[in-house]
């Protein structure tokens, strides 16, 4: 695996940009742009990050796509600016300047979530360190701030709530979140390909960079191929088990790379087409 901010790697990337007609830049919001100590909170972008990303998104040759497990409505509020593409709810919601898509199965079972959310809200309201997030098309209970006995109690409670509806929903745990979502053969990896294909034609394929750190990003890294760069964010241990070809060590390096892109993305000679 190569360090993305290495001089030789950046020179190679310059050549890739010069040969491209468009850059699609995907960034995982929840795991990279939100401070690691606040995974249970729906935090907005910092003013600095918002300004930097908005300026980058205004470059004609670049299309910015932010990715989150949050609901689309909350995700847009957290980001705080428009004109970009959003992949929300683990890919079940996709939105952009000319796009507004919700997975059909998620729409169909949405009404079943309301009573489950009401029950969970009552059951967890007095439990310290537990945060319920109703994501419109999925439910998540964050237990990162709870003590082990309460965490065990929540896991049992979620199992009880999920069991009667297991034919329609899946239940899994990810980064101290217990998530219930519709059983759909669709995830953020499929949503990434959906947007990738939207900007592709038989004669023109955009250059793609995906920056992530979750285990769920590995399938995306695996499908980058020669047309894209998968960039994992993390230290040596995370990089060692990743299928990404490139590495940024931490959020500070992500910020440096975004600044570098802003300075060099004009190398792309994009046709005069709609973003």
**Domains along the chain?**
2-102+186-267 (3.40.50.1000), 104-182 (3.30.70.1020)
Mean pLDDT of the chain: 91
Buried b (16+ CB within 10 A) or exposed e, 187-217: bbbbbbeebbeebbeeeebbbbbbbbbbebb
- Residue 241 is predicted with a pLDDT of 94
Sorted by sequence, the CB contacts under 8 Å of residue 20 that are 6+ apart come out as 61, 206, 207, 268
Q: Is residue 271 predicted with pLDDT exceeding 70?
A: no
Whole-number Å distance between alpha carbons of 87 and 92: 8
User: What region does 33 belong to: left with phi over 0, alpha with psi -120 to 50, or beta?
Assistant: alpha
- Phi and psi of 17, rounded to 5°? -65, -40
The whole-angstrom separation of Cα 201 and Cα 109 is 34
Question: What separation in angstroms does the CA of 272 have from each of 97, 248, 253, 275?
Answer: 17, 32, 32, 9
Q: How many residues does the chain have?
A: 275
Look at residue 96 and give its three-state secondary structure. strand
State how far Cα 225 lies from the chain centre. 20
102: helix, strand or coil: strand
pLDDT in tens, 248-263: 999 999 999 999 999 9
Instruction: Inform me whether the pLDDT recorded for 36 exceeds 60.
Output: no
pLDDT in tens, 141-194: 999 889 999 999 999 999 999 999 999 999 999 878 999 999 998 999 999 999
């Amino acid at each position: 695996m190569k360090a993305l901010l290495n001089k030789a790697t950046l020179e190679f990337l310059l050549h890739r940009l010069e040969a491209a007609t468009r850059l699609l830049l995907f960034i995982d919001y929840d795991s990279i742009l939100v401070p690691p100590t606040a995974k249970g909170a729906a935090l907005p972008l910092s003013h600095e990050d918002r300004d930097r990303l908005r300026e980058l998104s205004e470059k004609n040759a670049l299309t910015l796509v932010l990715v989150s497990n949050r609901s689309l409505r909350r995700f847009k509020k957290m980001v705080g600016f428009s004109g970009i593409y959003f992949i929300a709810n683990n890919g079940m919601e996709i939105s952009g300047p000319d796009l507004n898509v919700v997975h059909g199965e998620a729409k169909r079972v949405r009404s079943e979530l309301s009573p489950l959310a009401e029950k969970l809200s009552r059951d967890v309201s007095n439990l310290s360190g537990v945060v319920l997030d109703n994501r419109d098309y999925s439910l998540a209970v964050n237990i990162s701030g709870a003590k082990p006995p309460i965490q065990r109690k929540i896991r049992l409670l979620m199992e009880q709530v999920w069991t009667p509806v297991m034919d329609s929903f899946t239940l899994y745990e990810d980064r101290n979140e217990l998530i219930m979502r519709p059983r759909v053969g669709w995830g953020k990896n499929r949503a990434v390909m959906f947007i990738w294909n939207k900007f592709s034609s038989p004669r023109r394929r955009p250059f793609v960079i995906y920056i992530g750190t979750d285990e769920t990003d590995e399938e995306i890294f695996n499908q980058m191929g020669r047309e894209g760069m998968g960039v994992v964010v993390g230290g040596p241990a995370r990089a060692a088990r990743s299928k990404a070809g490139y590495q940024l060590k931490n959020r500070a390096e992500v910020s440096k790379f975004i600044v570098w892109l802003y300075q060099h993305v004009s190398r792309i000679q994009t046709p005069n087409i709609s973003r």
